[in-house]
Amino acid sequence: MSHNSKTINILLWLVQILLALLFVFAGGMKLVMPLAEMQQGPIVLPGAFLRFIGVAELLGGLGLVLPGLFRVHLFLVPLAAAGLVTIMAGATTLTALGMGVLPALFPMLVGTLAVIVCVGRGRVNEPARPGTARRGLLFQNR
């Protein structure tokens, strides 16, 4: 593994861990907070939908790190990141509609980081051409 690939791998792991902490916390809070507290604000979403988003965030956050830690089903990492990108696109839209563009920058940044993980970890699934080395970045052997 080249020095550049190691650096990218470390940076991807750092982003994955930070996103996982954020999404596990946010998803867990959506599962334990009373619905009345979560439904205050400019846009009120149904309680069942908020709980569903909480479960999706919790599972997505775990899906960013657990497959890599256990080195099992590594294809789940980019899938988890893609699911979180979808959630953050919705969060960006709702935040922009309800509170304005400036507060929507945070969910947009988080979604952008999830896109980086999705692309960076998904490259390993590219089929290798005969006679060429695999150029994927996902959890390469050291």
Structure tokens, 89 = 């696109």
Is the model more confident about 121 or about 130? Answer: 121
**Cut 0.95: pTM above it:** no
Q: How far apart are CA 88 and CA 91, in angstroms?
A: 5
Mean pLDDT of 76-102: 97
Between helices 3-32 and 105-122, what is the axis angle to 10°? 130
Q: Would you put residue 140 in left (φ > 0), alpha (ψ -120 to 50) or beta?
A: beta
pLDDT in tens, 63-84: 999 999 999 999 999 999 999 9
Residue 27 sits at the vertex; the CA angle it makes with 62 and 115, to the nearest 5 degrees, is 60
Q: How far apart are CA 31 and CA 83, in angstroms?
A: 18
pLDDT averaged over the chain? 90
Which string of b and e fits 110-120 if b means at least 16 CB within 10 Å?
Answer: bbebbbbbbeb
Residue 41 confidence class, pLDDT cut points 50, 70, 90: confident
Q: How far apart are CA 61 and CA 84, in angstroms?
A: 8
Residue 55 confidence class, pLDDT cut points 50, 70, 90: very high
Mean pLDDT of 105-110: 98
User: What pLDDT does 141 receive?
Assistant: 42
Is the model more confident about 123 or about 75? Answer: 75
